[in-house]
Each structure stands twice: as C-alpha cells, then as structure tokens.
Structure 1
Amino acid sequence: MTNGPASYRDRIPGHVADDAVVRLRLTGSLSKFPVQDHPEVLASKGDAGFVVLEGPAGSVRRAAAAFRRQDATPVTTPLADPDRNTFPYSFQSMIVAFVIAMAARSFVAEGFVIPTGSMAPTLRGQHMLMRGPQTGGEFAVGLQVGAPAPISAAILNSAADRLLGPRFPGTAKSEGWSAKPRQGDRILTHKTLYHFRDPRRWEVVVFRNPANPFGRAPTYIKRLCGLPNERLWIVDGDLFTAPTTSNESLDWDAFQIQRKPDWVQRALWVPVYEQRHDQGGMSTPDGFGAFVPNDDEWSLDGPVWSFRGEQPTQLEWNRRAREFTNWNAYNVGYGNTPDGRGRILKGYTYPSPEPTADIAFEANWTPSSEAGSMRWILEVNQHRFEVERIADVVRVRMRDDVWSEVGPDAGWSEWKTATVDPVAADVANRMTVWHADQRLSIWHHGEPILELPYDWSARERLGYSRKRLVTSDELNTLRNGETPSTGDPVEAPVAKSAVLKLEFTGGPCTLEDVQVARDLYHRVQRNNDRTDSNPARADILDRCRPTGWGFGTHPSNLAELGPDQFLMMGDNSGASHDGRFLGTPSPFVASMVDETPYVVHRDLLVGRAWCVYFPWLLPLGGSGPTVVPNMGELRLIR
C-alpha cells in the first residue's frame, strides 16, 4: 500500500520541508484562486466548501498566502458625515466642551491668580526682581498695587539686599528686564479633596473671604494654622494649641507647640546667608562679614572658608551686621522702610523686625585629619544647644543658661548620640542642623539621624524669650482685659537675639556651601481699621476693636475655634491681612454661615492650593516682551 501526501488544514507546520509534497485544505471559493500564478500547485474543490491545494510544501505555502489575500473581505470606508464641517456641528462641539470645562471648574479644579504677597515667599503676588550687585543674589520685592510710580520708585531705590539685611539700604538694584513688574503666580486649586477628608494643619487653602465674600477680593489664600475645637495662641512666632474646655479657669501650661512636618518645614525656610554668593566675606558696606573668626588663620578663598592653624578655633555669626530676625526683603515695596521701622499704608502697620529663635544651618566640613571635630552652638531663649561631630558619632545636648554660673559642665541634658562613618582626612561631612518648633533635628549626608525635642508650654516659652518669669496669675489678669502690676509680658521686648557659633579642633579644615536660614514667623500684632468694618453685635464688636489685639496673639483674645471653624494665616506674616485681623463677618456670612468673628467656616473653603501651573513670565530673547513662561518656577505648593 502506497502512502499519499501528508494532509493539513489551514496551515503547514514549519518543520515540513519545502520540497515535500503535501495537501492543504482551506476555507474559501475555488474561483478566487489565482491558478495562473501557481502552476506547480494543483487546486481542486473539496467537500464541505473547502479548497484543496496539493504540491510542494513551499509552493503550497505561497499559494495559500495569495489565496487568503484574494479571499479577504474588502474594508469599506463609511461615508463622511456631510454636516461635520458645518457651523452647527462646530457650535455643538463648543457647547459640549464649555459644559465640561465649567463642570470641572465648579467641582474638580479652579485656577486663581495671586494678587498680593501675603504668602511670600511660598507664593508671590505682583512683584519685581531685584539683584544685589555685591552678592549676585536675586530676589523678589512685592509691589503695592495702585501706588504712584514715583513713590514705588523711591521705595525700591532704598531696598536692601536680601543677603545683607535691613541695616544696609540701597544695596539692591533692579535693572534691564528684571525691572519690569511681574504678575502673581497662577495656581490650581483641588476643590474635591475636602469632600473626602478633613483639612489638615499647614495646608495652603483657598477660601471665601468671610468679611467681604462679594467684594474686590472675594477669595483669600492662606495657610491653615488652627483646627476645630481647639484654642490657639501665638508665642514668639510659633503656634501653641490647647483643647477647648468648658471650665472658666484656663490651664496655661496646656498650650503645647505645634510642629511642622519635615516636608513643610523644608519649604518654609527663608534664606539668610548663602556662601555661594559670598566672594569676599559677604562684606557689608561697613566692612563686616557674615561670620567673624576669632584668629587670623582663617581666610575666604572664593566661596570657601579655610583654616590653616593647629589650635582650636571658632567662627561666630556677625550679629553686628545682621541679627536673626523675621525681616523680609519682599515687603520693602509695600512701604516698609528698609530698616524695618514701621510705616502705615492702607490700614496696615509694618512693625520693626523681631528676633527669631528658629534657625537652620547646613555646610560641608572637611577636616585635614581624622582627629578633627566640629561643634555647632546656638544660644537662644536663655538656653544653649550643642551639636558635635567627632570620631564616629554625632551627638546633641542642651542646657539652661542659669547653669553657666555653676560651671561649664553643669546642667547639661544627657548626650543623644548617633553612630556615623568615622571622621576621615580630606573627606567632606555634610551637616544639616534645624532648630525649629522647639526641636533640634540633625541630618548627616542628607539622612536624618537625631532629634532633640523639648516641650515647653506657651507660658514657659514666653518667659524664656522675655527673660522673666511669667505666672498664670499674670496671664489670667491679661485674659480679663487688665494689665498686671508687673506689666504685659507680651509687649516686653525679646531679651536677646540668637547667637550662632561654630567651633573646630584637630587642625586645618575647610567649610564650604554654608547656608543659614530662618523659619516662618507669625507676628503678634494689634488689629487694624478693617477688623470692625462690618456691623455686628456689641459683644462681637468689642472683640474686634482696631486697638485690640489680633485673634490668637494675646491672652485677652485667644483664638477659640468651635466645630468646623478654622484659623488661616499668611506665610508673610508682616504683610498679611489674615485670620488674626479678619474681624466681623459680613452680614450675609453672619446670617447664612457663621457669625463668629475672625474664623473661616468649613462651608467657606474652596479647596486646597495644589500647584503653581503658570508662574511669572520671562522676556523674549532676554530683552523683548515678557511672554515666555518661567518653567523653572512650576512647582507643587507645600
């Protein structure tokens, strides 16, 4: 018996040789097979509507491919809509797009333009860029909208370089393209977030202005500082809160510090000194530099501090040139004199700068031998804080200054220690130290390694900053609207500005990329003439007197927040009309939402500020019209 050709259906396996005779069954019509193109293949009609191809496997494969192409169903193109390019069709599409955009604006996201500098430097309103010719540093100065040009020019001509400080007016210039005013940042607001979770402290929030929700400034943008069902008191620039109670007597030691998360704190540091701009000791016009060495072995080679001696040595922050205060170069254009002495403009009072205790320091320290050590020292609020990098450890401690009279080793807290890589010759150590919100935080090469929190109450913090004992009886007297016989401790000046020192041992070393910054500072101020601008009950108007203390700034007017009530404040505290001064709500808000003065009710929240999507513009070609978006300023809002 003789075997016939191998039979396959639809396809021939790849292992079959091209010269092997095969039979292939395909679905289709025999009339569509191109017989003339494949003479070596025999095509016949099989049963059940199949077509049978027989011949060498290679030829059958090619014939099958050609047959499938011939038998394929042609693709028909539908006729175009004859009305697609007509005006009614386009108009309908525009209406649909408009409805979708309005729905998104109403319920998902909405854009706003920042008009003022109340949130600077986090968000900038209308401003101008200025540059310090001596340092090369560039910074923004806010512009007073509507101020006469000669007055604005005179104010800007007296501006001080941000890195030199308020004692040296006229050290900042605005030339060329940078002299052109810039519009404020454009932001996007996430409007649905607070439908799914509660607002959180330190978030930047857009809300309806309770004092004037339909006026020229119906929406405000501020940072959320006070939460529902708590009391809040601003002391020495920081926030202290206590739970609300129904008791008449108030426990003043219940007010505890509110600390910012690291990701928020990092965004809120305001630069005070940047060594990359220091090409000559950051010499101020009177010849003083940012740091003062205690011997002649120090030199500044470009932006690098170098020490050549073998003896222990020290660098100290030059408080004669610039103290650590809440001075903000951005506010010069608002009518604040460069040295900070206040001026009244449109109902705002800009008082003189106040000392701040919250300081950040960062530097690369490179010793010449493994015996080198570095000690960071901060003296503030009658306490001394030390961070030491020595051998293979970093350690931190603190003590009250009263112990200095006993001896150099008395009164210290125990060292808190973290183990790191040993000190090595000519190997840089990146050290970062934050003193903020009553906590020391230390990083080594960008990694957090140590924390030293200390939990003073608001009463203790007020006493330490004023260098006097503050008693609960005094605070109760102030709360009742009277002045104690010992005077008002809130109005007493801060006893001493912060002292920063760096001590080194172990021989020569270098210090590079030094950066010093200060924290956000909430001012304690009295109300202004806008606080009682709306009609209200007599008891509410009494709390909103222009001569009275701002909300949450004094024991006589503590911020007491009920359910769904929030306190909002601007980052640029000296130039922000915020929850401290909002005062009486408008009649509409009082009758329909909440009549409580100063607060922002949850129903007035628009959403969380999410990002800067369109910053101020740059000039085309460096000197042309300002039409180029500054893409480097696109950022999330922290």
Structure 2
Amino acid sequence: MSLAILSRKNKEKNKPQPKETKQQTALSLVFMFACVLIFHAIVFQPFQIPSGSMAPTLLGNHLRTTCEQCGYTFKLDSHINPKQIRSEPRIICPMCSWPNQVKNAQVSAGDRIIVQKFAYEFTDPKRWDVVVFKTPQYLTNLGGIESRGPINDFIKRCIGLPNENLRILDGNVYVQKLTKSADNTYTPDGDYKIARKNENLTAQRAMFVPIYYSKYIPIDSGKVKERVVNMGGTRQAFYWSPPWVPTEADKEQWDVNKVRSYTYKGSKPSTITFDFKKSGAFNIFSIYPYNQFRRPFSSQHPIEDIRLAVTVEPTNGPTEVTLSTTGRWADGLSQLSANISDKGQISLVKANGETQQIETIASAITTPIKSNTRLELWFVDQQLTLWRDGEIIIKAEYDLPLETLKNRAAAPLTPQVSITVNDAVKLHDVQLDRDIYYTDRPLNRVARGGLHRERGQGNRVIEDSNLQIGDAEFFMVGDNTPWSNDSRFWDDTEPWVSANYMSGDRQRDRGIVPRELLVGKAMVVFYPGTSSIIKPQFGDMRLIN
C-alpha cells in the first residue's frame, strides 16, 4: 500500500464528524420515551401493594419485628399506628408467645411488585394464580361522586374459573363444572369436587402458615413474670412450654427441652406428640398473627390441613419412622399415618376413630433411611402425601358428594400430630404448618358461595345463594381471608361493568370479575417492603406464587 493512500485515509479518519443536532437528540429522547411507554403499557408494570389482604404472601404497609426472645422475624398489619392505642400495645410472637414491645418494631412500606400485563391476552388465569385486576365493585363514596366504571386496582388469588359453580366449606374450595348450551344456559357436569392446590405446588407452599418451628426457642424458657402484661385493660399471661411432648413412659429417653434438635436414646418404639396449647397463643385455632392489631383479629376456625416436616438422622443404622395426624377421611375422623420401615417399605395407614379399624390406603417401596433424610407429611385438601427429600413418594386422596360433606361432623379445633421412631435417632428442623383457611363467614358475614358450619349448633350449615361463574368470568379472594375485601363480599356490581361485560343482573354478577377487567399476572417482588428506602430487604425478594 502506498504512502499516499495511507495519508489520505488518516486525513479522513481525523476529519471532524458532524455533531448530533438538537432535533436528532430530541427525536432520540422521544423514541426512548415512547419505548418505555409501550413497554409499560403492554409488557410489564410496577405496582405497590396497598393493604394486607394478600398477607402473608404479599404485604401492604406493615410492621416488621424480630422477637426479643426467640429471634423469629415476622410481620403484622399497620393499618393503624399501634403507638396511638390507649392501652399499652404488645406484639405477640407467633412462635414463643413473647409479648414484644411495639417500640422495637419497624414501620415498613408495602411490597413493590412487577405485573406481566400480557399474561392473559391469549390464555385464562390458572386457579391459584395471583392476579391484578380492576375491581367491579360498585363504589359510591368517592368524594360524593358516584363511580363511573372500574378505577381501582386490586390484587387477589384466583380461586374460581369460567363455567363452574363454586362453594366454600370448612376452609376448602369446591367446584362443579358447567356445560354451556346454545341458549346460554348452564348445566352441571357431575358433582362438586375439591379444588386441590396440588395443581400448583409452589402456590401451596406459599400458602402454608407456620405453627411452630423447633429452631425458635425463647431465652427465658417461657415462664418468667415478664410474660404477664397489661393488654386491653386486663392482665394477660403469655407463657410458653416446649410443645413436642414424649409419652410419659419414655420421657427420660428423650431430650426435647431447650434444644433445636430432638434426641431419642432408646431402642424401642416411642412417640412425641405436639401440644398446641403449649406452642403459643395463636395455635389453638386458625388465627392470623398478621391481624393481631385488628379487633376481632380472626374467626375461630379449626386447624385440620397441616404440613409436618422433619430431618431424620439415624444413630444405629436404618430406622423406622412414622408421621401422623388426625383428620376427616371418607368414613369419618381418623388417625392418618405415613410409615417408612427400616427395610424401605412405605405405607399410608388410616385408623378410624370410631371403629378403630386399621386400613392401608396406599403402599410403595423406597430405600431405607440410613442418613439425614428430609420427610414431609401433608394432609391438605382431602389428600394425604408423603415427601422424601423434596419429592412425593406416595399419596392417597378421597372425594365425597357435597351433600355428604355438608352433613358430616365438624373437625376438632386441633389435630393430634405425632412422630414415632423405632430406634435411637436425632430429629432436626422440625416444622409444623397449617394450610390457608378460606373463611366462609368472617365477622358474621356469609361469604358469596359460602357454606357456613355452625359449631355446637347441631352441625347446621348456613348457605348463601349458589355462586355460578360464567364464560370469561373469575372469582378472586385474598390470602388474608379474615380481612380481605374480595369477591366473597362485594354487595353490588358497577352498572356499566354489569351491562357491558356481564349478564346485566347486578345481584347475580356481584363478586364476579370479568375477563375484560384483568390487568395481568403478579410475577415478582422486586423491592420488598422496608423501613428505609436505602436499605431494602434483599432477602425478601421473591417470585410470587
């Protein structure tokens, strides 16, 4: 290459480039702004959770506190400032019942989430999805001006799908499929069946409510005089005792006091049983600790659906383990057990509480428990499941006609939960949770679609009118079921929404959310609620299930 050519290329390279004009800069900014608007309008949109109706899954403005005694971190609703309550307020720990002082709690803003707006453009929400939508509720208290269409964004969990009847009974959701005819009438297709959350196991795990975890032990051992405090003008005691109790004959062989892992030193079968009254102030029935500054903070509903988890460490080779609870099976109240023998044989066993008849309802084979093994027993939504190291290894379930379910006896307030071992063993990270309880009559209001069982009233069931969900319609309920303004309680429907998107019968349409009002699917908590904008709780960032 000649020197003349190189010289010419260098001159062209060093030649000043034309500067971007103000017009080009403005056009670039307009283009970028338009892209952001399109992205915001069509793809994703941020929202902030305003209230506690989806707690504990999603949190509105709340108080965050760590128990002074056991170290358990938990949240509770802050719809009012507890420091303005006349009586001395205390925050009761759900794990050890310690009455924490309010001054140590942090006031935190609501979770900030991302909503995928195109999620339901071509498909319907699945049952148990967390959905953002415009509320069809008829509102008249807007500065004296009647509402002119849906304006408020709500976030709830979808529990009712198109073309089905829906009932809420004993904390569970029951649905009956409908077939739509040419004249727009609906015909039932079979009987009601329970809507099991195993359709979305990540959602089920998100909806478990902790009862007691063995790693939380109060420093004071639960009996000191400081646990007697003034609450609401009266003196109340919030004592605590180790809730896992060995049988009297074997109590010397067990170490379960003031320890996070339980040790059995014997060589014959022995059992520890969970005592709900000893475990804490909130565990005698389905109370939501998040609501403890509301009055009343919960209705008294029984605990029946539970999750029991434990890591088993054998001391002397392969061991046999049995996890048990009590609950209503097809033929009545029964002891329900999952057993893994030292040979690896698995069995799900039912012992009827009245006839004492023992029946194996499922069996399988696995490897013996020789080293640390995580076991979980779920009795949820009329299904008994045994998990091993995060995988389902055996399950059994039952279904009954709705009329039979309505007429059966109510569940006891708490089940009898136990762990039985056949040889020396250590039990680590023992956890007991309860399932979410869909209240059918909180605060003496019969829920839309609710079947309310009156305890102590001859097992009488009070019914609301039948709830029918039509084409492109949905039923939405908050996870904080005692204190959620949702499909169960909307008394009227926006006239414009009813006329344009629904049947036009506002009483029939109450509680129903038409497809046209769906905004999108809640995907992720990208900025969890925090007391300081510069100190986000990164550990609480999570997918929404």
TM interval, shorter chain, is 0.7 to 0.9
Runs of 5+ consecutive residues of structure 1 not aligned to the other structure? 1-27, 33-67, 337-341, 343-349, 405-409, 467-493, 529-546, 620-625
Query: Closer, same or farther in 2 for the Cα pair 1:451/1:78, shift >3 Å?
Result: farther
CA offset at residue 608 of structure 1? 0.7
Please give the alpha-carbon distance, in whole angstroms, between the structure 2 residues aligned to 1:328 and 1:631. Answer: 25
What residue number does 1:118 align with? 53
Please give the alpha-carbon distance, in whole angstroms, between the structure 2 residues aligned to 1:512 and 1:562. Answer: 49
Deviations 1:316-373 (A, max 9, x none): 110222546321111113x23xxxxx2xxxxxxx543311211111111223223632
1:501 and 2:501 correspond: no
Q: In the TM superposition, what are the counterparts of 1:537-548 in structure 2 within 5 Å?
A: none
Determine which structure has greater relative contact order: mean sequence separation of CA pairs < 8 Å that are 6+ residues apart, divided by chain length. 2
**Contact preservation (8 Å) 1:257, 1:457:** no
Please give the alpha-carbon distance, in whole angstroms, between the structure 1 residues aligned to 2:253 and 2:77. Answer: 42
Matched pairs, number:
490
What residue number does 2:447 align with? 550
What residue number does 2:214 align with? 275
**Contact preservation (8 Å) 1:384, 1:400:** yes
Counterpart pick for 2:321 among 358, 374, 388: 374
SS of residue matched to 2:133: strand
Query: Closer, same or farther in 2 for the Cα pair 1:209/1:372, shift >3 Å?
Result: same
CA offset at residue 140 of structure 1? 0.5
SS of residue matched to 1:549: coil
Please give the alpha-carbon distance, in whole angstroms, between the structure 2 residues aligned to 1:310 and 1:558. Answer: 57
1:158 and 2:110 correspond: no
Deviations 1:443-491 (A, max 9, x none): 212232111122234333344452xxxxxxxxxxxxxxxxxxxxxxxxx
Larger CA deviation: 264-273 vs 121-130: 264-273
1:229 and 2:163 correspond: yes
Please give the alpha-carbon distance, in whole angstroms, between the structure 1 residues aligned to 2:221 and 2:513. Answer: 44
**Contact preservation (8 Å) 2:164, 2:469:** yes
Q: In the TM superposition, what are the counterparts of 1:367-446 in structure 2 within 5 Å?
A: 367-370=314-317, 372-381=319-328, 382-391=333-342, 392-404=344-356, 410-420=357-367, 422-424=368-370, 427-446=371-390
What residue number does 2:302 align with? 355
Counterpart pick for 2:44 among 109, 120, 124: 109
**Contact preservation (8 Å) 2:149, 2:496:** no
Report the RMSD for the aligned CA atoms in angstroms.
Answer: 3.1
Question: Taking structure 1 as the reference length, what is the TM-score of the superposition?
Answer: 0.70
Counterpart pick for 2:196 among 252, 255, 259: 259
CA offset at residue 550 of structure 1? 1.6
CA offset at residue 288 of structure 1? 2.5
Query: Closer, same or farther in 2 for the Cα pair 1:256/1:153, shift >3 Å?
Result: farther
The aligned amino acid for 1:615 is P
1:326 and 2:286 correspond: yes
SS of residue matched to 1:272: strand
Q: In the TM superposition, what are the counterparts of 1:59-138 in structure 2 within 5 Å?
A: 76=13, 79-84=16-21, 86=22, 90-138=25-73
Question: Taking structure 2 as the reference length, what is the TM-score of the superposition?
Answer: 0.82
Please give the alpha-carbon distance, in whole angstroms, between the structure 1 residues aligned to 2:523 and 2:276. Answer: 38
Counterpart pick for 2:271 among 304, 311, 314: 314
Query: Closer, same or farther in 2 for the Cα pair 1:195/1:442, shift >3 Å?
Result: same
Please give the alpha-carbon distance, in whole angstroms, between the structure 2 residues aligned to 1:216 and 1:243. Answer: 29
Deviations 1:195-247 (A, max 9, x none): 12122111000000111476997010000000011001111111110123699
Q: In the TM superposition, what are the counterparts of 1:518-537 in structure 2 within 5 Å?
A: 518-525=434-441
Counterpart pick for 1:628 among 535, 540, 544: 535
CA offset at residue 253 of structure 1? 8.1
Deviations 1:466-517 (A, max 9, x none): 2xxxxxxxxxxxxxxxxxxxxxxxxxxx4442110112223x2211111111
Please give the alpha-carbon distance, in whole angstroms, between the structure 2 residues aligned to 1:77 and 1:153. Answer: 78
Query: Closer, same or farther in 2 for the Cα pair 1:282/1:108, shift >3 Å?
Result: farther
Deviations 1:137-166 (A, max 9, x none): 01001111xx366445858x23321213xx
CA offset at residue 80 of structure 1? 4.1
**Contact preservation (8 Å) 2:65, 2:73:** yes
Deviations 1:526-558 (A, max 9, x none): 6x8xxxxxxxxxxxxxxxxxx862211134323
Runs of 5+ consecutive residues of structure 2 not aligned to the other structure? 140-146, 224-237, 452-462
Larger CA deviation: 441-450 vs 516-525: 441-450
Identical pairs, percent: 24
What residue number does 1:562 align with? 470
Please give the alpha-carbon distance, in whole angstroms, between the structure 2 residues aligned to 1:296 and 1:280. Answer: 23
What residue number does 2:178 align with? 244
CA offset at residue 126 of structure 1? 0.2
Greater C-alpha Rg: 1
